[in-house]
Amino acid sequence: MAPYKQLDFLSLDDQFSEDERMVRDTVREWVGDRFLPGIAEQFEAGNFPMEFVPELADLGVFGPTTPEEYGGAGLNNVAYGLICQELERGDSGLRSFVSVQGSLVMWPILEYGSEEQKRQWLPQLAAGKVIGCFGLTEPDFGSNPGGMLTTAVRKGKDWVLNGRKMWITNGTVSQLSVVFARHEDTYLGFLVENDRPGFSAPEQKHKFSLRASVTSELVLEDVVVPDSARLPLAKGLRAPLSCLTQARYGISWGAVGAAQACFDEALSYAKERIVFDKPLAAFQIPQKKLADMATQITLGQLLALRVGRLKDQGRYTPAHVSMAKRNNVAMALDVARTCRDMLGANGISLEYQVGRHMCNLESVITYEGTHDIHTLAIGQELTGIQAFR
């Protein structure tokens, strides 16, 4: 197959600064040279390639918007978006690993943590020396985290945590969990070291999606943590929801990357594959599919970029992010399914990328707020009426 050539129909490259392009190109090259050659095998084996963690840290992709004084790269949000785009061009599992570390572990510490917590954890997380996970979802409460059953009870200077979290990315391979628990009439956030007595994180197996990503249960049985492990500024559901907004923003770019990977593969394939004595690309039906996909990918790029610029100006809202996540993931899933079809039987082989991306995107459309939940968030923004209950 031809080398990767990203679709840039409207010369969006002009819209990025030199620094933003440099960050993007560095990550793109790493994904092509280091990550893609082994991903099919990792996906089949159901592994995340942990051996790449030091290289990812050297690339500066863990919490890249974190200020340099805490070990981050201090990049802007558009550069972060471009990083997500390139990582997810590789695999949604790779982008998920990085999203959780940066947006769901480092960001809450930066936003809701004490100075001591920031100094203790952020440099180690940025360097990949500590891996973190984010425990919000429970077996019976996903879209409605307010129903959570995990509890935090004060005992002298300590807290005792009990409960079960489910579908937690990186749980089994992490050393630190951001855990949310109910306390009286509110919700609190804790930094739980995973070697605390009573804590375990068994892996959830048998996934057909995001196979190159570790997904786990978190089991908390009388886990005792000191008050210094509580995120002092995290009170109520606003805290976990604001973390999700950060991660969803990255997903809106990442989905464009997955769609780009599929489009590029299907376009090359259509030019090479001969059917009825002509290349597949010479027929009108495949051309229409390519034209539709190129248009939708371009619109997705524009949406992510606009939200990114608004975020960098401090003008974005959670509803903006809902629109970008909802549209771009649905777009990417449609593109992946169409490309899978265009490759015929080869489309279901792991020797090609389209089937793997298609399966992965079935998770991406569900996690970080399902498609329908984002529909309701946008509906609420437009009408002023919440329709969640």
Ligand X SMILES: Cc1cc2nc3c(=O)[nH]c(=O)nc-3n(C[C@H](O)[C@H](O)[C@H](O)COP(=O)(O)OP(=O)(O)OC[C@H]3O[C@@H](n4cnc5c(N)ncnc54)[C@H](O)[C@@H]3O)c2cc1C
Q: Which residues are catalytic?
A: 368
Considering the complex, state which of residue 289 and residue 326 has its C-beta at the smaller distance from ligand X.
Answer: 326
CB 229 within 8 A of CB 191: yes
Phi, psi of 202 (to 5 degrees): -65, 145
Say which residue the tokens 């892996």 belong to.
203
Residues 181-210 that bind ligand X (CB under 6 A): 210
Q: Tell whether residue 146 is a contact of ligand X (CB under 6 A).
A: no
Could you tell me which residues come within 8 angstroms of residue 264 by beta carbon, excluding any fewer than 6 positions away? 4, 5, 6, 7
Considering the complex, state which of residue 88 and residue 368 has its C-beta at the smaller distance from ligand X.
Answer: 368
Residues 356-375 that bind ligand X (CB under 6 A): 363, 366-368, 370, 372-373
Q: Tell whether residue 131 is a contact of ligand X (CB under 6 A).
A: no
Q: Of 142, 198, 232, 379, which lies in the binding site for ligand X, with binding defined by CB under 6 A?
A: 142
Q: How many residues bind ligand X (CB under 6 A)?
A: 20
Find the part of the chain contacting ligand X (CB under 6 A) among 136-144, 255-263, 296-304, 335-343: 136-144
Q: Tell whether residue 169 is a contact of ligand X (CB under 6 A).
A: yes
DSSP 165-220: EEEEETGGG-SEEEEEEEETTEEEEEEEETTSTTEE-PBP---SSSTTS-EEEEEE
Considering the complex, state which of residue 141 and residue 283 has its C-beta at the smaller distance from ligand X.
Answer: 141
Which among 212, 328, 342, 363 is positioned nearest to 264, based on CA atoms?
Answer: 342
Which among 51, 147, 56 is positioned nearest to 95, based on CA atoms?
Answer: 56
91, two tokens: 């695999």
CB 327 within 8 A of CB 300: yes
Considering the complex, state which of residue 136 and residue 307 has its C-beta at the smaller distance from ligand X.
Answer: 136
Q: Of 62, 107, 112, 134, which lies in the binding site for ligand X, with binding defined by CB under 6 A?
A: 134
Q: Tell whether residue 328 is a contact of ligand X (CB under 6 A).
A: no
Q: Of 97, 112, 167, 269, which lies in the binding site for ligand X, with binding defined by CB under 6 A?
A: 167
Cα 324–Cα 325–Cα 326 angle in degrees, nearest 5? 95
Contacting positions for ligand X (CB under 6 A)? 100, 134-137, 142-143, 167-169, 210, 215, 363, 366-368, 370, 372-373, 388
